[in-house]
Structures are given as C-alpha cells and as structure tokens.
Chain A
Amino acid sequence: MTTEAGSETEVKKGSEQLGPDKGKDKPEEESETPENQKSREASSEEAQDSSSAPAPTSQSSPSSQKKEKVSPESKGISRFLPPWLKKQKSYTLAEPKDETKKRTTEEEQVVEESERQTPEGVAQPKKSLEEAGAENQRNAKADDKEKHSVPSPETQPAKEDGKEMEVEKVATGKEETQEEKEKRETKEVQTAEIKTEIIPQKSPKKIKTVQCKVMLLDGTEYTCDLEKRAKGQVLFDKVCEHLNLLEKDYFGLLFYENSEQKNWLDSSKEIKRQIRSLPWIFTFNVKFYPPDPSQLTEDITRYFLCLQLRQDIASGRLPCSFVTHALLGSYTLQAELGDHDPEEHRSDYISEFQFAPNQTQEMEEKVAELHKTHRGLTPAQADSQFLENAKRLSMYGVDLHHAKDSEGVDIMLGVCANGLLIYKDRLRINRFAWPKILKISYKRSNFYIKVRPAELEQFESTIGFKLPNHRAAKRLWKVCVEHHTFFRLVSPEQPPKAKFLTLGSKFRYSGRTQAQTRQASNLIDRPAPYFERTSSKRVSRSLDGAPMGISDQGLLRDFPATGGQTAGDKIIDIEAAGQAKLKEGGREDDGSPVKTPQLELTQDGKKKGDHIFQVKTLPGKEKQWTTMPWIAGAKPEETNKRHASRAEGPCTGVSDAAKSSHETLNIVEEKKQAEVEIEDTLVVDETNKGKMQVATDAGETCKVEHLSKKDSSSLPSDSSSSSSSSESEDEEVGEYQPHHRAIEEVIREEQEEEDDMKRKEHEEKTQRVEAIPEGSKLKVPVEHTQVTAENLVQENAVTIATEEKNLSEEIKQDLGEEKEEEQLKLNGDVSHVDIDVAPQIICCSEPPVVKTEMVTISDATQRTEISTKEVPIVQTETKTITYESPQFDGSAGGNAGVLLSAQTITSESISTTTTTHITKMVKGGVSETRIEKRIVITGDADIDHDEALAQAIKEAKEQHPDMSVTRVVVHKETELAEEDEK
C-alpha cells in the first residue's frame, strides 16, 4: 500500500487542473467507510479524467500529439465520441439522475468543472484552427468527459465502478511503480490513482483486520490477520514468506465463488473488493506452470510445483495414462519416502497415497515396482524427474474453461503458455498460438479472439465463443491476458489506465513476467532452504479444488454477506440496471467493467482528443466503431440490458475500434489511407443466420476520395459516435491486444516487435484488399439508405452543422418517442453557446462497403473439410455501407458544440431492435438535434431485410418529418456458404 512517487508530476497536473476536485476528494477520502472510499476513488477518477481532459487543452497541442503517439487507443476512443457527447456531460450532470447520492452530485460537480475546463480548452484549440488536430483533441476530450458525465450522472453505480476501476488502476500503478520504479512509465492517470490510494492509507485510525485462511499446497492451512482493505499482494507476500518461497511469480491465490468457479486474487487490488462477501479463504496454487521446470532456480519452488501437479493429477484435472500415473507416483514415493525399503514399505504402504483419481491395486503395484527402481534418487532429484515427465503431458499447464462455439457446441478453451487451445471432448480441434492472436476481448458473456489471417487469407478473422456468463468470459479473458503477458512479454504491459480508450476492463497482468522472474531468480543468493516434504497422503485430501470451494461456500453462508446476493445475481442486476448502476455494480468486477470503460474514456479523453483528430482524418478507424455498435445491435437478446448500458457510455466496441484504430492510425497518418482493419465484430449469436443490421443514419452521400471503405465504416462509426456512446455502454468489455502493446510504449513482445511492423504492413495490405471487395460488394441495403438520404428534407440545427463544406448533414432519425420535443427545446436554449465550426474534412465517398470475413469457428479442422456435423465453422459476410455527408464528421469532430442532452432509447420487436440515440447540442449558436437510430434486423432468409429496412427508414422519417436524414449506414452480415468466400 505504499505510495509511489513516480506519478507526482501527473498528479500535479491533475491537481492543477482539478484543484477543486482534489479538495473534494480529500475530504471524502478522509472518511473511512468503504462507500466513502469508493466515492473518493470515483471522484479521484473523475478528477483524473478531468485533469486529463483539460491537460491537453491547457497544454500545447504538441503535448497532446505526444500523448497521442503514446496512447493511440485513447485517440481512437475520442474519435468515437461525438462532440456533442462532450457537452452532454454537463447536461447529464444537471439532470436529476444524480439524485441518487450526494456523493454522486459532488462527483458530478467535479466532472462539470472539468468539463467546463474542457470547453475552454476547446475554445483554445479553436483559436488555432489551423491545427485541426487540436480540435479533434478537444472533441475527444469532450467526448471523454461526456462519457464520464454520462455514467456518473446517471447513477451512482457508475461511480462505484469508476472506483473499482480506479482501484485497479491504482493497484497496477503501485505495482508498476514498485516493480518498475526505474522505468517510470507511470503516467498521469496512474499518479492520480496513486493519490487516491494514498489518501486512504493516510486515514490511519480505523484499521480493521480480518482473519484470512490460506490453504497451502501441502494441505496445511495458513492463517493471518490482514487489514480489511489490504491488497492481494499483501496476503500473497505473507504466504510466500511463510512458505519461504522466493520464486513466487509462478504462484497465486485463488478464491472460489463456488466449487467450480475459481478466481485469481488480483494482487494489485483490494482483497475485499474482489471477494466481496465471500469468506476470506484462499488457496495457494500454481498460476503459471513453467514449461521447463528444470529452469527454476530453487528446489523448493519445484517442490511446490510438484505438490500442485500431484493435486492436479489426483483430482483428474491433469489426465495421465496408467503408465504415467504409475511413474509419477513412484517418483512421489521416492521424494517423500526415500529409497524403497522392503522392511518398512510393506505392500499396503502405497495405498495411503493417492496417485490417480481412480487408483487401482494394479496401479499401486506398478508404483511400488517402479519405486524400487529409483533407488538413490534424492528427493530433489525425484521431484525433478517427476516434473520432467509431468511437463510433457499434453494438458500440463492448460487452464480449461467451458464454452460453446458459435454453433452452440460445447467445447473447452484451454489457456496455456503457448496460446489458446480449443478442445471438444478431449480432442484438440484448434489452436491459436499467442503470436497468431491479435486481440483478445470479451463482451458480456462472449469471448473473442481476433486472429491473424492465414497465409492465403486476406482478412483477419474474429472468433467468438460463448461463455456460461459474463464473469466466466471476463475470467477467461483475464487468464489469457495474464498468460500472454507472463509467457510472451519481457515486461508487463502497463495497464490501459486513463490513456487507453479501453472501454472495458483495464485489467492487465501486473506481476513479473517469466522473463523477469527468471532474471530475478538468477539473483537468488541463499543457501538452499531446508523444507520438509510432507506426505502426499495429506495432499490428496486437501488438494482437490472442488472440496475447497464447497467448504468455502459453507463458510460464506456463515459469514454475514453484505451483498447477500451471489455474484452472478449481482451481475445480472447490473446489466438490468443499465444506466442506473447500483452500488452492487460498484463491486469490482461486475460494476467496474462498465464504468471502467466510461471512466477510461474520459481519462483518455485528452489523449483521445488528439487521436480523434487523427481519426477524423482517417476514416478507417471509425470503421471499427461502426462495427462494434452493430455488433451490439446484433444481439437482440441483450437489447434491454443495452439500453441501460448504453446510457452509460461507450463500451467495448468503442474500445476495440479505438485500439484497432490506434494501431492503424500510425499507418494511416503516413499514408492517409483508410485503415483496413476489419471490423472485429463477432457475432456469436448462434441464431444469426442472416443478420441484417441496419443503422439508419441520415446521410447524404458525400464523397471523399481518400475516405475509402474505411470511411464508410468510419462513417457508421461517427454516427455511432453518438451511438457509440451507447455501444460503449455495454457493460463489460475487455480488450487486450497482445501485439499492439508495443505501440503503446509499454511492452514489447520479444519476438513480436517485428510483428508490429509486419502487422502494420499487414494491415495496410488488408486494407487494400478490403477495398476491392468493398467496391464490388455494395448491396441492396445501400440503396435503401440512399433513398432515405434523398428524402432528406430539412435541417434543423443539424443542417447547420452539416452545412459547412461537405454538405453532409447528419441527422439521426429517431425512434425516441418521448424526448424529441424536449430536446428541441433544449436546442433552443442552448443556442447561445458559440461553437467554432472547424470543418474537418470527413467524407465518405462512395458507399463504402466493407467486407468482413467472420469466421466463427472453434475448429481448426475447419472449413469445408470436417465431416462432422459439428464443424463449427461459420463464415459470414459482413458488409457495411455508409452514406454520409462529410460534414457530419467534421461537424462532430471539428465543431465543439455544447452538448445539451443525450438520450438513448431502445425498442424491440420480433425481428428488429431499434436503438435511438438523441443528442442535442449547440453549435455556433445553432442548436442541433441529432437522432441516431440503430435498427437491427435479425432473421433468417424468410425475412425480407430490405423490406424491413425500408420500412424502418420510412417510419423514422414519419416520426420526424421535420428532420433530414444525413447518413445511412447499412451493415449487413450474412452467412456465406463456405465456398463462397474467397
């Protein structure tokens, strides 16, 4: 819990900017109650965000640029955020939602302040219109702010989430600082976080302690008292100290939600927040199985690894053949009993040990037989032999997770040192090595990996898996992030923190990587510690994970559960709650993700702003956006949840887009080509047979040459920007781009440094590739959209925005039944606000069609060839067509309008899901109301999508006769016959 000095500068910035906020924070911090703490954190986060947001403005553009470079993602995010969103913050704050808690209001105020700053900042950049980038930055900032504001005002839960996020951030920051003080990578955001934490620490008096129990690998129990707010690291260090273990990075502490769901205690976060109402009972386990145990430095480390493996084997988690069971068992005997002694070791001496889940007499005889052959081996040698054999087992170090593939077939996902393995009934059906994986993400209960295109393939493909619930998805995602970082990176990546746009979890592995731990191990200079090998007789009992879990549960019951609800329930609540997030949401895992994204966005805002700037110029980035929203839309089931979530803020989709954009951005800037990144949207829905996703954005078609397909995609994104906010709202999302990290400055993959380069090239290539398909593949839906566009009648404020150069006006059609009127009024009110119109050149030229190859398959066996029915390969063609006026983007990005209000409304019918996002803002004295409607039409072939689309557009027009359609984006996903795809 020590505070790190590294971030001071950053803090200062934040403090300066957010001076008032700080003050607020401090008092809050002083209060010791957890809630207060949370609020503090939230406030601190906000402060951070605000600080971050203002910082760019206040700072010269160059700084912002730098930031951009550093964290391209943030930029990407900002891009997404529409200018109006920025403004929204304040409005939202003003809105009554805040009522829930005073704290929230305070926070909001803070936010507002920050926001205020932002507008100023915006104005400044405007001054230097020359630098469109600056404007973009502003926008981005504003957007970020908006996001913040959106979540915070809406509900306290958001704040809580923010807290959680902060906590995570803080923790990460701490760890980093501790571990990597030298590096000093800590960023502003981190510092801010640190502050918050520190403060709580300062509050000295009310230290409550809790008794922790830790089940050790030898079956014994370790008990200690911990400060109630201690972080996982504290406990872990205590345990390792107790065990006399130095090479501890391979290990971790588990807690069980139930007999099956185990979670790794994040050492950078407070324990209490992680376990919630669960009893303080943990299990000390191996977390990263070293592929070559002989490289461990100390015998004691190998010993614990042996104990773990014996558990794994005895419990059946690590399957072995009969012969291997016998062999490993014999080494266990040799290690624990020494040489076979015919006198002492009678026939039955073995049956007290458990070597296998189903131990037979025959096996015991075999074990005894083999035991005799090991005569002379020391315990350490026997352990080494044990490990040499165990490490060759195919399931050694594979962490299995239940999942379903895109077709609903039960599979297992195995995370290991080398990558991700896909199993179906014990058979390996696919494998994705880490270098092949571009991105790992999760959204709700879906887990996605984005894979490099195969040799002859043009497109990256995203593969989706369905996890039992979103917690499982997040758990898997975390495990992947950790394994990738531990085994593939030289040093851990910095957590996304404020800089990142990451919508979802900011979680990153914060411990040492294998490379680092090996390095550290080399420095171990102590005589081999003496330790006693306990008999595995005991081990066999306590080893089993399941029993532990059960016991835990029992304990849980005994313990007064604050929440009372199970984690799962809570989650549900959160989702349902949507916008209004309950305190429950505040719980670290569940709540945090949602908030996190938002928070992150806000924090990122400054940087993002910069990025945004770029983004606007680069349409490609936007693509991603669009896709993401679409995705969100694609899942009808979740619409309700979405509503709630949408209000909150940009979700994963955004983050994804942002990230991808980041990567691409560099490239794009250079070449000014649209990025070719294919949308990551994975539609995991098993149901999707032909999904038509239509976003009706108004849009006159504007043509900008350089805006290529990406633009089209981007366009949707813009529209989505409004919508994006909603998208981002998706509660839990986490993204992790293994390779890209390098870009971020933080981490380099050993081998993959080159990859980045290649990647870029690759991306470029892909873009080109895409272009071709796009052109060729316009589809009917486009026509519809055009029709709508033509119909554009009139413009409100909207027109003004659009008017500028390109003529595009964007109007979002509204389903939003209720509040249009209100919004209109608002517009009028706001008119006084001056907005600079910095028309950015954003145009979409031809209806860009983006073709995305979606492969949802878990089967490597793949494609055509699988004789089995279950062949999980589904190829989908996704097309996105956008008609838009360039201005839209420009207006969005360039004009710093004042956001008066924003709302999202979702309605659902059998085959269509309509999400309406209404944004009111004032630009240059003109109030503008934008209505963005996202209509998702899902259905089989028997649904006439075109018809449905036309109908939807028609309805939208009818509903808002006084508005014009500025952009229409049609995103169509169709399953293709495998052969059809190139």
Chain B
Amino acid sequence: MAGLGGGPAAFGRCTHAVVRALPESLCRQALRRAAGPEVDYARAEREHQLYVGVLRGKLGLQVLELPADESLPDCAFVEDMAVVCEETALLTRPGAPSRRKEVEAMKRVLESLNLNIVEMVDENATLDGGDVLFTGREFFVGLSRRTNQRGAEILADTFKDYAVSTVPVHDSLHLKSFCSMAGPNLIAIGSSEAAQKALKTMQQMSDHRYDKLTVPDDAAANCIYLNIPSKGHVLLHRAPEEYPESAKVFEKLKDHMLIPIANTELEKVDGSLTCCSVLINKTAVL
C-alpha cells in the first residue's frame, strides 16, 4: 500500500463505480438552472445505459447500480452525494434540500464497500460533490450556490493529507461544470471567462503546476479520466455530435484511449458526465 493514494502516479485508478438509475420524475421535476426543452426520458435512459455499459463492460469496473427513486428526481446524479478519496468517503450534505435524502442510498452502498465513512452532519454546511475537484495532489472546492465554506472545511477535515483550496464559482452550477481532470496532471477547462478565471485561481493556489487542456465548450470540459491497468489512460468525453470542436481537442490526446459519450438529455437538467458516477479505487484487501 503506497499511502496517500500511492501518489500522483496512481491517479485515476478505479475499481468500482456507483451509479443510479434514472427516475422518470427526472424529466419534469429535476432541478435545473434554466428552463429548456424537456428531457426525453427514453433517450436519456439509453445514454445512461451506454455510460454504465462503458464503465462496466469496456473498462471492467464493478458497477454498483442503485435503483431509481421516483421521489428523488435528481437521484441519478450520484456524484454530488459523496466524495471518495482512497479509503475514505465523505457523505455530503447537498446544497439542494430536496436532494438530501439521496445520501441515504449512497451511504448504504459505500458501507458495503468497507470504506471509512464520514458524514457531514453540520447543518450549516453544504457540499455537492460536483464542486469538488480532486487532482491527485490536492482538492479544489468550488464555492457555489450548492457548496459553502463550511462544507469545504469539513472536506478539508476529512481529507487531512491534502490541501483544500476554495474557488469561487459563479455562473455555473458546480465547479466541475466547466472543468475536470483529463489526466494525472491535466486539467480540462472550458473557454468561458468564468472557467478561465477559476483556472487562474486554482493555478495560483497550487504549489503544483498542472497542464491544462482548454476546450471551446465549458460543458465538454467535464470528462472522466480513468487509469485502467489494462488500458492505460482512458478518457470519457462528450461526443463529437454534441461538441465537435471540443471533441477535436480531446482527439489530440495521443496517449489516451478516448471514449466519446453522448449526454444530451441529462445535460438539459445540468447533468454532466462526472455527475452520474462515484468512482472508487478499492485497493487490495489488507
């Protein structure tokens, strides 16, 4: 066991993924920042199944799929419910009150994985997993409408080994609405002013210098990087049909195994690729 997650080299290692099926209530009742076209449930489900299929079939992860709960229209966005780093999982207190019950199912499944579980009980704290960017070396926590300082503090207390820096997030739902890790040392970042500003903040806060991958579309900057032993660098990114220009940027990543995934329907309710899973690296049982 390498300690501290084995260092940056182990970044992206993943054995398990937690996902949750889409409730039909999602179409009409899911929280959304702006009104827009209604979600095509059938298509959303197809896309989601493809997503899960990639994780399970193509990448060989053990996918733990929670059943949908119609009373929780946003329940498919499991990322917001937990922050898992190494052997420790922090169950969040989502910023949207309507989503707080979603944590319960997440708690059960994480317990089943024997993770060290920390619950956020402070009623003044809110934290959405979508605001948490873990780079392998440190955390950045977006202070958004969904996440506050106190939530970030608790995260810092939970993951004491790492620096936790706060990044103001405006104009978007989450920090990861416009960025994500696209590699062990690579931050994918959108081109919007807000995204670039956030990136600057992160760069200033960090002792480490990250490479950046700037994509034209903020939404496309949310991608999923995995380090799969048999496949090396794997990157799930938005499909060319959705964001052709951004897809071209991803296609320049030579060392990555690129897997385009469409997410058109869930995007209507602010869902991104990372939103739909919690990735866990369960190391060999000691």
Is B153 interfacial (CB 8 A cutoff)? yes
B7 near A392: Cβ-Cβ < 8 Å: yes
CB distance from B204 to the nearest CB of A (A): 5
Pick the contact of A428: B1, B160, B165 (CB < 8 A): B165
B143 near A373: Cβ-Cβ < 8 Å: no
Question: Per-residue CB proximity of A840-882 to B under 8 Å, as 1/0?
Answer: 0000000000000000000011101111101000000000000
Docked CA distance A611–B223 (Å): 59
CB-CB under 8 A from B166, the residues of chain A are 427-429, 861
Question: Per-residue CB proximity of A321-333 to B under 8 Å, as 1/0?
Answer: 1111001100000
A868 near B153: Cβ-Cβ < 8 Å: no
Question: Per-residue CB proximity of B157-183 to A under 8 Å, as 1/0?
Answer: 111111111111110000000000000
A426 near B164: Cβ-Cβ < 8 Å: yes
Docked CA distance A867–B148 (Å): 8
B207 near A431: Cβ-Cβ < 8 Å: yes
Is A393 interfacial (CB 8 A cutoff)? yes
A413-452 contacts to B (CB < 8 Å): 418, 424-431, 433
Docked CA distance A429–B138 (Å): 13
Q: Take A322-B116, A860-B205 as given contacts and tell me if A866 and B160 are in contact as well, using a CB distance cutoff of 8 Å.
A: no
B161 near A324: Cβ-Cβ < 8 Å: yes
Is A501 interfacial (CB 8 A cutoff)? no
B207 near A426: Cβ-Cβ < 8 Å: no
B1 near A861: Cβ-Cβ < 8 Å: no
A427 near B164: Cβ-Cβ < 8 Å: yes
A530-574 contacts to B (CB < 8 Å): none
B217-261 contacts to A (CB < 8 Å): none
A322 near B88: Cβ-Cβ < 8 Å: yes
Question: Per-residue CB proximity of A809-826 to B under 8 Å, as 1/0?
Answer: 000000000000000000
Q: Take A323-B3, A323-B87, A324-B4 as given contacts and tell me if A861 and B161 are in contact as well, using a CB distance cutoff of 8 Å.
A: no
For B8, give the chain A residue with the smallest CB separation. A392
B153 near A430: Cβ-Cβ < 8 Å: no
Is A394 interfacial (CB 8 A cutoff)? yes
CB-CB under 8 A from A369, the residues of chain B are 286
CB distance from B208 to the nearest CB of A (A): 10
CB-CB under 8 A from B161, the residues of chain A are 319-321, 324, 392-394
CB-CB under 8 A from B141, the residues of chain A are 427
Question: Per-residue CB proximity of A362-406 to B under 8 Å, as 1/0?
Answer: 000000011001000000000000000100111000000000000
A324 near B164: Cβ-Cβ < 8 Å: no
CB-CB under 8 A from B3, the residues of chain A are 323-324, 327-328, 389
Question: Per-residue CB proximity of B193-210 to A under 8 Å, as 1/0?
Answer: 000010011001111000
Is B86 interfacial (CB 8 A cutoff)? yes
CB distance from A196 to the nearest CB of B (A): 43
For B149, give the chain A residue with the smallest CB separation. A868
Q: Take A394-B161, A427-B165, A860-B204 as given contacts and tell me if A867 and B143 are in contact as well, using a CB distance cutoff of 8 Å.
A: yes
Docked CA distance A430–B202 (Å): 9
Docked CA distance A646–B76 (Å): 68
CB-CB under 8 A from B200, the residues of chain A are 454-455
B4-42 contacts to A (CB < 8 Å): 4, 7
B170 near A865: Cβ-Cβ < 8 Å: yes
CB-CB under 8 A from A418, the residues of chain B are 207
Find the residue from A322, A393, A428, A433 having the highest chain B CB count within 10 A. Answer: A428
Q: Take A428-B164, A430-B205 as given contacts and tell me if A321 and B159 are in contact as well, using a CB distance cutoff of 8 Å.
A: yes
Find the residue from B4, B86, B152, B167 having the highest chain A CB count within 10 A. Answer: B4
For A422, give the chain B residue with the smallest CB separation. B205
B165 near A860: Cβ-Cβ < 8 Å: yes
Is B156 interfacial (CB 8 A cutoff)? yes
CB-CB under 8 A from B137, the residues of chain A are 392
Docked CA distance A389–B86 (Å): 14
CB-CB under 8 A from A370, the residues of chain B are 1, 286
A319 near B205: Cβ-Cβ < 8 Å: no
B4 near A866: Cβ-Cβ < 8 Å: no
Docked CA distance A425–B201 (Å): 19
A427 near B156: Cβ-Cβ < 8 Å: yes
A327 near B1: Cβ-Cβ < 8 Å: yes
A323 near B164: Cβ-Cβ < 8 Å: no
For A456, give the chain B residue with the smallest CB separation. B200
CB distance from A359 to the nearest CB of B (A): 15
CB-CB under 8 A from B169, the residues of chain A are 865
B143 near A861: Cβ-Cβ < 8 Å: yes
Pick the contact of A868: B87, B143, B158, B207 (CB < 8 A): B143
CB-CB under 8 A from A864, the residues of chain B are 168
Docked CA distance A433–B206 (Å): 9
Docked CA distance A865–B161 (Å): 27
Pick the contact of A321: B1, B88, B286 (CB < 8 A): B88
CB distance from B167 to the nearest CB of A (A): 6
For B145, give the chain A residue with the smallest CB separation. A867
Docked CA distance A429–B148 (Å): 13
CB-CB under 8 A from A389, the residues of chain B are 3-4
CB-CB under 8 A from A431, the residues of chain B are 165, 204-207
- Given contact pairs A319-B160, A324-B161, A861-B168, a sample of 12 additional A-B residue pairs in the complex whose CB atoms are under 8 Å apart: A323-B86, A324-B4, A389-B4, A392-B161, A393-B160, A394-B138, A418-B207, A427-B153, A427-B165, A431-B207, A860-B201, A864-B168
10 A-B interface contacts by CB (under 8 A): A320-B160, A321-B159, A322-B116, A370-B1, A393-B4, A393-B160, A427-B141, A427-B164, A428-B205, A864-B168
Closest 7 CB pairs of A and B: A865-B168, A394-B163, A319-B160, A426-B156, A327-B3, A428-B165, A389-B3
